[in-house]
Amino acid sequence: MKRTLALIFGMIVVFAATVAVLFNVMPGPHKATDYLVIGAVATLLCLLLLFFVLINTVAKRPASSYKKEKANPEQ
């Protein structure tokens, strides 16, 4: 549960930081399409980061249904 909350909080921070940077980079005054582009870029970056984190953490964790058989020394 803590990992999920940390991931959600991290995505919110990345989204807010991306929006803040893009507001400073794009020249003003901002139009409706500027807000659309800023939101789309921030969302795309968050989704890419989310998939990257989930793929790397799930791939390193063994499956819960997998059980390793003990070697039988009698055979």
Tens-of-pLDDT digits for all 75 residues of the chain?
788 898 889 999 999 999 999 999 998 899 999 999 999 999 999 999 999 988 888 766 666 666 666 667 676
Dist CA 13 CA 8 (whole Å): 9
Q: Which residues of 41-53 are buried (b: 16+ CB within 10 A; e: fewer)?
A: ebeebbeebeeee
Q: What is the pLDDT of residue 41?
A: 95
This prediction's pTM: 0.71
Residue with tokens 């990345």: 14
Q: What is the pLDDT of residue 63?
A: 62
Dist CA 12 CA 31 (whole Å): 24
Q: What is the pLDDT of residue 75?
A: 63
Q: What is the pLDDT of residue 24?
A: 94
